[in-house]
Amino acid sequence: MDELLDTKSAAPRVGVSAGTLENWRTKGIGPKFIKTANGRSGKVLYDPADIEDWKSANRFQSTSQVVA
């Protein structure tokens, strides 16, 4: 298992800024994430395998394949 990444480290792997990744997380449209215990003060971490899975699931051949 790869080392888990914080938002700042995960964002370049996704190809967006850390702020965009945070916004996507609240909307449920980015890669899966892990929230550590501690309620609201817990850390948000990303597994590189989940990032790769998300990228694969969002890979398209043409714009007609993309469903909004």
Chain length of the chain: 68
Name residue, tokens 């967006």: 16
How do the pLDDT tens digits run along the chain, 68 residues long? 579 999 999 999 999 999 999 999 999 999 999 999 877 778 999 999 999 999 999 998 888 877 65
Phi-psi region of 4 (alpha: psi -120 to 50; beta: other; left: phi over 0): beta
For residues 23 and 58, the answer to whether their CB atoms sit within 8 Å is: no
Residue-level pLDDT at 66: 73
